[in-house]
Structure 1
């Protein structure tokens, strides 16, 4: 028979072995990242395994409690970089049972919480994503004072800096993140747009946080944007490709190898940002399928192609071009049927020389100037009706293939007879390239 001391030692040994076994097999919380947006906050928990979790909320004070089953903490929660106005603190609490890691998120006010797990997608491993947002919050725009004389409006340009937050985008040879450099360029473009009388810029993101691709188009639409410009920095599997390019939506697959690579990168971006399930939602797919058939898509695609040409022409004056004509690919951020949209690849971040250029303030400013000039050139020649730009002088229109007097008259909301009179036309025939003066409506 075993003596009492031997039994005690064996018990201690078994407890020690069990604790050691649990520590090795437990899911480890290895990192916590907080991404604060103006209206929401995303918290990402980096884990060694796929998480098993439950959650609930508490009031007085407001808290979100997350229980991670069979998990241990390896993070100093007191040293988390938290710049969110919605999240006060992230801390541990007493678990309901042994082996559970209880995390408490102290909230500044009642928030809507959405939690989901993500499988490994390079450069990240297993993740638990917590999205917090004000319940039922809507984007509020400043009310414009009523104008008694006229209601002339600005041309609205939505500037979209690609990637952000948990999605770094492409990473250059020296470690430069695409999300950082494109935000810098996007802000410079926005500044130039805002400095142009009769034009106004709206940014889809102003800081380092992720905005899912459907939401970017929604922001542009809610702002009544006349154009959406998405800014990116290209990448490829080899360091040789270089040069800027401008992309427009294709209803088919991309027409180049690099285009197909970029399409795949966009899907990867959604997975990194944690919004892949939104893009795959059946209702959204049906919505896109229907709107792609709408005639407004044809019109916005035609306008997008013309603007892309003007932007590309100006980019060619300040940097090397990858292609001298706009390219086509299927990007979700360009699929808004009612808003002309272009995607500008400012250069190849995977190329050593261009990565270095993209980090330079002067080069960023030159790229911003080129994009701005291309946009201004188009809207100066084709100002929207009732806009300040349209009122400055007689609008001029360059006839394109397939356009007729009736089509042009309808676009500018003038009569065919007034259009003929303003241009002293004796017949309805037009020539491609012919410049017409558009009378004021």
Structure 2
């Protein structure tokens, strides 16, 4: 039986070396050890996409990248500029695309200059058209997005929403009939043999004599960074519901004593609590949020109307839908440090029983009319904890116009004739609601 030779450690440095040579070898070994233990410098972050969302409310600039970025910014006067330094990146072709993405009609940005300020630091200089109050923040990866660096450029002196609403009403009156340009004759939508009911829109009862204007808040869901649901043909919920809301706005404004505030009138993102606040600032009598539903199976179909729930969702599907819609802030991108979280929480928790009861009446009136032109997903108004319906003093409903995930209903939602029918149905439901529930004669704006 053989015996294994015991392992013996050999000296790394021969003892016979002169002392000065030993010090040299030791120093080299220490350097080698440090190079092994010291982490290599991190690779430069890479900009994946740049997007610009101009709107009268504010302009948003988004840089999507593959890691979290360090950023600093400051304002310069005479002329107005916003200077942003981004650490840890090198200038790449994608970032250079930002220059061409600034539109001439952007309310706040004249142009942007992009350059390598120093190694690993890129500087953006936004030449501004007016004084702005910038919010610069980062967003963690969510949904289809990776890390995002966001610049929200708000005007220092935003217009008063009530003054804007009054000015719009006066402009329509001065223009005479105020017939919207898109209201010309349109082709009737093709018959839909799959429907089990005959399309109908009953004439609404005349409104009672009013002593003040009725203000209606229309809320097209999603927008900007948040596309909402996407159909099999590529139709985006945010585009479809904005088109429907604009048609409904035009029809409402043709009614005597009605005017409309839209929470968004273009493709930009509005946080959920801001949608509620916008409606309250103009003392809205109704809040109507417009969406297009989606489901994992393309066979799901039909329109629905939802109100806020006092105790819980009326169905598992309603609970799931509310959770999905309430996640819009995560996708769209809310600056958590940019608003008073406590104020938003209080605002969204003050809903009253009277508000919810009125919302149900409005919901039933609108659902009946929509049922005349499209199949209903549920025959009754459903309830769930939608954050956007929590205005404490405004009857509020959320309409899921159809399933954009259903190819047949996606085709309807993008059809101009069907959009007109849908807007007419919602208008009729609103008129019938007011015919039975006249607005209170509160001390409101003229």
Question: Higher mean Cα deviation, 26-35 or 260-269?
Answer: 260-269
- Indicate if the aligned counterparts of 2:218 and 2:263 stay in contact, CA closer than 8 A: yes
Q: Does residue 160 of structure 2 align to residue 111 of structure 1?
A: no
Q: Does residue 234 of structure 2 align to residue 203 of structure 1?
A: no
Q: Does residue 110 of structure 2 align to residue 88 of structure 1?
A: yes
1:227-306 matched pairs, under 5 angstroms = 227-275=286-334, 277=336, 281-289=341-349, 291-292=350-351, 297-306=352-361
Structure 2 residue corresponding to 1:317, chosen from 372, 387, 391: 372
The number of equivalent residue pairs is: 356
* Secondary structure of the corresponding residue to residue 25 of structure 1: coil
Residue aligning to 1:349: 404
CA displacement at 1:280 relative to structure 2: 8.9
Distance, in Å, in 2 between the alignment partners of 1:252 and 1:338 is: 18
* Secondary structure of the corresponding residue to residue 223 of structure 2: coil
5+ residue gaps, structure 1: 1-20, 388-441
* Secondary structure of the corresponding residue to residue 217 of structure 1: helix
* Secondary structure of the corresponding residue to residue 27 of structure 1: coil
5+ residue gaps, structure 2: 1-39, 171-208
- Indicate if the aligned counterparts of 2:326 and 2:387 stay in contact, CA closer than 8 A: no
1:15-414 matched pairs, under 5 angstroms = 25-74=43-92, 75=94, 76-82=97-103, 83-95=105-117, 97-140=118-161, 141=163, 142=166, 152-275=211-334, 277=336, 281-289=341-349, 291-292=350-351, 297-386=352-441
Distance, in Å, in 1 between the alignment partners of 2:335 and 2:303 is: 28
1:374-406 Cα shifts (integer Å, max 9, x gaps): 00001022222449xxxxxxxxxxxxxxxxxxx
1:187-232 Cα shifts (integer Å, max 9, x gaps): 1111111111122222111111111111111221122211000000
Classify 1:279/1:303 alpha carbon distance in 2 versus 1 (closer, same or farther; 3 Å): farther
Structure (1 or 2) with the larger CA radius of gyration: 2
CA displacement at 1:253 relative to structure 2: 3.7
- Indicate if the aligned counterparts of 1:214 and 1:279 stay in contact, CA closer than 8 A: no
- Indicate if the aligned counterparts of 1:34 and 1:41 stay in contact, CA closer than 8 A: yes
Distance, in Å, in 2 between the alignment partners of 1:281 and 1:384 is: 32
Distance, in Å, in 2 between the alignment partners of 1:206 and 1:283 is: 25
Distance, in Å, in 2 between the alignment partners of 1:317 and 1:377 is: 15
* Secondary structure of the corresponding residue to residue 84 of structure 1: coil
> TM-score when scaled to structure 2?
0.75
* Secondary structure of the corresponding residue to residue 46 of structure 2: strand
Runs of 4+ in 1 over 4 A off after TM superposition: none
RMSD: 2.2
Distance, in Å, in 2 between the alignment partners of 1:310 and 1:37 is: 34
Classify 1:130/1:225 alpha carbon distance in 2 versus 1 (closer, same or farther; 3 Å): same
Distance, in Å, in 2 between the alignment partners of 1:193 and 1:151 is: 15
Distance, in Å, in 1 between the alignment partners of 2:257 and 2:159 is: 27
Classify 1:321/1:151 alpha carbon distance in 2 versus 1 (closer, same or farther; 3 Å): closer
Higher RCO (CA < 8 A, seq sep 6+): 2
Distance, in Å, in 2 between the alignment partners of 1:52 and 1:279 is: 21
Distance, in Å, in 2 between the alignment partners of 1:26 and 1:251 is: 50
* Secondary structure of the corresponding residue to residue 188 of structure 1: helix
Distance, in Å, in 2 between the alignment partners of 1:361 and 1:287 is: 37
- Indicate if the aligned counterparts of 1:236 and 1:258 stay in contact, CA closer than 8 A: no
Classify 1:282/1:133 alpha carbon distance in 2 versus 1 (closer, same or farther; 3 Å): same
1:148-174 Cα shifts (integer Å, max 9, x gaps): xx9921211111111111111111111
Distance, in Å, in 1 between the alignment partners of 2:54 and 2:342 is: 29
Distance, in Å, in 1 between the alignment partners of 2:390 and 2:419 is: 27
1:3-47 Cα shifts (integer Å, max 9, x gaps): xxxxxxxxxxxxxxxxxx98x921112222111121311111111
> TM-score when scaled to structure 1?
0.76
